[in-house]
Amino acid sequence: MADQPQGSHRIHWRPLRAVMVLRVLVLMVLAGFSLAVIMSYGRKGRPQTDITMAPSSPTPAQQGPVIDRSDQFEVNGSREGRPAFTLRARSVTGFAGDRKLLQGVELLIHDDRGGNVKVSGIEGQFDVTDRRARLSGDVTVESESEGLSLRTGTLFYDNERDMIFTADDIVFTVGGLSGQGRGMNYLIAERQIKIPDRVVLRISAAEAGLPATISSGDLVAVLESNAAVFTDNVRLERGGDVLYANYLKVQFDEGRKAVRQMHAFGDVVITGAPGPDGTVREMRADSLASLFAGPSGELREAELSGSCRVTYGPYTSRSRSARYRAASDLVELRGDPVVMSASDRIAAQEIDVKAGAKILEARGDVRTVSMPSGKAGAATPGFGEKSAVSFQARTLLYDQAAQRAVYAGSARAWQEGNSIQAEEIVLDQQARQLRATGDVMARFTQRHATGSGIPSRPTVASVTAASMVFDDAQGVGRYRDNVHLTREDATLTADAMDAYLVDRAGTRELDHVVATGSVAVKRDQAFGTARTAEYHAADDVLVLKDGEGLAEVVDAATGRTLRGKTLTFDLAGDRILTESARGARTWITLKPEAKDVQSVEPKTKH
């Protein structure tokens, strides 16, 4: 230790060695990462295809020397150990860099499911570097597993994207479908075909079904799900029925021969073929969804949504949605539905229509309006032909074939000053009858003209009963069971009343009423009874009749009693016309007398 020079230090090598080893390890990791990045550069997610070329056979000697020519050319591609494609040619006619100029080309593309797509053409080119092939001259595409057959002028195959495509016109068949278009992209792995222009697809007739044709500006077909999506000016025609839309998705059966589902969106319009009688059929909506069944693709269900409008012959409906069920032949209108014709309008919360049976059922705040049609005998029974007749009820059942409408649940009908209400009102157009049952009340407004021609205050008379039947041919309404005729100044009750209406200038007015059975009348403090009574609305007169002379009026204010076979009550003049046995007629005014004036008749108690 004494021999070492002053100020020298000992170097420790072990820590330095550790640092050097760490640096080497970091450099190795960076180098490996860089190599991985370099090796993966340019890949598109799918493993690149390994390409092998089979040796070509020499040109036969008898053909003479040909420069750069060989026969029986073949290229095989594989991906992840599985065959990707096989390209064969009868001969190679030349070289353009790495591109092979081929004659008599056949391209076999292998999919992941074990199937093949076979492409053939008269001429072709193959670029080894880009892994792309071009076939031209009567190109055909066949796929037995997909049932696909296609023809075009020129077609390209891109192995990296596993796709064949063309910009030329094509003609194809797939299953029971056939069609044409311009351009095509066929993604083999995704089993998807896109035709970007001038699409026409034909659905062949199956058994009793009708063939259909779909045209559009664009088509995307997904072979795996047997579905096709059409966009841009879509038009579907089947028989005489035509559908227009901006978007249409069609789901086919497994054999691609019949339609199973259909969805259309964007300004959907469906026009039906006119019937033998020229009936017009049209449907409009924002969208349509429909289901089909059977070998001929019969319609099972269809639902329209958004601004629905359906026209069938003289009738047009509007609603937010409309649903059709073929099993029950039922159309369900929902969302403030309205059904209209040239003369009628029906509105409710829900409306169901059976088109075949011609039956309409409306529920919830039903309101209808019938305008004058101008046809003889077409007016609503019980009302005139001059103005509209309105109805309101909770439900409505209308049978067009039977020409019968049933309004139920607080039903009410009115026309200007006349109305009728009941628990149920039945309109029978064939029988020309209006029938009402349950708390019936009819109201009539009578307008009297004064001597100067100026209308006076109208008189309103109402009739209540348990039931009523109005016979339009005879112009009489028959009220039965606990019948009351009520005016502002008088009341008439009876077991039954027949109210006769007359037509004046297109309106129905009350002419007279005949009351029978337990007739009773009350006018202020006067009370009367009789076997029968007649109320004449125009004259404002009530006539009490009894063949045995037992018609009676008692004036409670004076104690006066009047009896006879006929007592005529002048309601406007507040007086009674009596007839004696000798035929003498006397008007007696009903009014209280002063106390110091002696009464004409003795006072009697009743």
pTM above 0.85, yes or no: no
So what's the pLDDT on residue 598? 42
Strand partners, 373: none
Domain 203-329 of CATH type 3.40.1440.10: no
Q: Write the CATH number of the domain with boundaries 17-37+65-195.
A: 2.60.450.10
So what's the pLDDT on residue 454? 61
- Confirm if 561 and 545 have CB atoms less than 8 A apart: no
Q: 294 Cβ partners below 8 Å, 6+ apart?
A: 258
Q: 96 Cβ partners below 8 Å, 6+ apart?
A: 125
Note the CATH architecture for domain 336-471: Sandwich (2.60)
Q: Which CATH class is domain 472-590?
A: mainly beta
- Confirm if 561 and 604 have CB atoms less than 8 A apart: yes
d(CA 456, CA 263): 65
So what's the pLDDT on residue 603? 43
Which structure tokens are listed for 518? Answer: 């337990």
Distances (CA, A) of 567 to 337, 475, 572, 588: 56, 27, 15, 11
- Confirm if 487 and 506 have CB atoms less than 8 A apart: no
Residue type, 141: V
d(CA 563, CA 529): 10
Strand partners, 422: 411
- Confirm if 201 and 228 have CB atoms less than 8 A apart: yes
Which structure tokens are listed for 188? Answer: 């083999």
Nearest to 598 by CA among 566, 559, 567: 559
Dihedral-angle region of residue 578 (phi above 0 means left; psi in -120 to 50 means alpha; beta otherwise): beta
Q: Where, residue-wise, is CATH 2.60.450.10 in the chain?
A: 17-37+65-195, 203-329, 336-471, 472-590
Consecutive H or E run containing 253: none
Q: How big is the chain, counted in residues?
A: 606
* Positions of the chain with pLDDT lower than 50, given as ranges: 1-9, 11, 13, 37-45, 51, 53, 56-67, 96, 208, 592-606
In Å, the largest CA–CA distance within the chain is 183
So what's the pLDDT on residue 272? 87
Nearest to 563 by CA among 548, 545, 551: 551
Consecutive H or E run containing 24: helix 13-40
So what's the pLDDT on residue 601? 41
So what's the pLDDT on residue 52? 54
Q: Residue written as tokens 């309008």?
A: 345
Strand partners, 526: 523, 555
So what's the pLDDT on residue 47? 52
DSSP readout, 401-428?
A: TTTEEEEEEEEEEEETTEEEEEEEEEEE
d(CA 216, CA 219): 7
d(CA 548, CA 530): 10
Report the Cα–Cα distance between both ends of the chain, in Å, rounded.
Answer: 163
